[in-house]
Structure 1
Amino acid sequence: MKKIIFHILSMTLIFAILLGCQSNGNNELVDAEVSKVSISKSSGLGKVNSNFFTVYEDEETLEIFKNIILNAVKETVEVYIVNPHFDLELIFTDETKQGYHLWLGEKGQESTLMKIDDIPTIYSISEEMTKQLIDLIQ
């Protein structure tokens, strides 16, 4: 059932992209230089699960995450939100933190990202960048 809901969500996002979603540079997603990315299985909307299974601090991987987030496309459609697969916590060089929910697609699919403190707004992540996320997370 979850897989069906995820596929419906994915198809909705693809349809929205075909109708002409807007990209805004997503500077609101990344405010400063990232110094650390921590990943956990999500425990639900509105908070980051602090039981991280992976932490990245190397410059190359941090740049990949920053590019993924900066290239995510803001969606302008309303969708039914199911529980996210993963939570990401980015820690910036100024020591501020930002949490994100991630719905990770399979290879050949897009993924979806959402700021934890901006639940109605979602961002789609390209198939190519989804592949990079899969490689980093699994």
Structure 2
Amino acid sequence: MREVLLTIIFLVFMGGCASKDNVKKIEIAQMIGFSEAITYPSMKITKTEEIEEFINAFNSAEKVPGIANTVNPDYQVIIGTENYYLWISDESGTIMNIKDTHTVYSLSESSAQKIFDLLNTKKD
């Protein structure tokens, strides 16, 4: 029951921050470290369907138990007013809201694949 309640709270929080209705673009920076970007922004996502892919992936991410102990992020992602770190590969993805650096969320394998492919398309 507690997990269901936490999931609902998380989805309400994420839904309020990353609603499809109020996001017109997503800015993404490739990162060297937690506070250093290669260029900012490295990419901008402005197509509605691509924005929806990000929002759906982030909104459906599942909280990873414990306190986060991470390496430098691959990307910094700004969705609306929220700011996230993103670690991504073709098989897995992890996000961390910059406001809560003690908690990470895991993307589903299919969401990670979609985001990974989208990012690689934008880099070219």
| TM bracket, shorter-chain basis | 0.7 to 0.9
Q: Distance in 1 between matches of 2:51 and 2:36?
A: 19
Relative to the length of structure 2, the TM-score reads: 0.77
- Counterparts of 1:1-138 in structure 2, within 5 Å, are 23-24=7-8, 25-30=10-15, 31=17, 32=19, 33-45=22-34, 49=37, 51-91=40-80, 97-105=81-89, 107=90, 109-138=91-120
Task: Give deviations 1:75-124, integer Å, cap 9, x for gaps.
Answer: 22224211101110112xxxxx211000102x3x3210001111001100
1:48/1:99 contact within 8 Å kept: no
Q: Distance in 1 between matches of 2:47 and 2:36?
A: 22
Output the aligned Cα RMSD. Answer: 2.3
Instruction: Report the counterpart of residue 15 of structure 1 in structure 2.
Output: none
Q: How many residues align?
A: 111
What are the ranges of 5 or more consecutive residues in structure 1 without an aligned counterpart? Answer: 1-19, 92-96
Q: Distance in 2 between matches of 1:78 and 1:52?
A: 29
Q: Distance in 2 between matches of 1:55 and 1:27?
A: 25
Identity among equivalent positions (%) equals 25
Q: 1:131 to 1:63 in 2, by over 3 A?
A: same
1:29/1:115 contact within 8 Å kept: no
Relative to the length of structure 1, the TM-score reads: 0.70
Shift of 1:130: 0.6
2:33/2:72 contact within 8 Å kept: yes
Shift of 1:48: 7.7
The structure where helix makes up a greater share of residues is: 2
What are the ranges of 5 or more consecutive residues in structure 2 without an aligned counterpart? Answer: none
1:48/1:87 contact within 8 Å kept: no
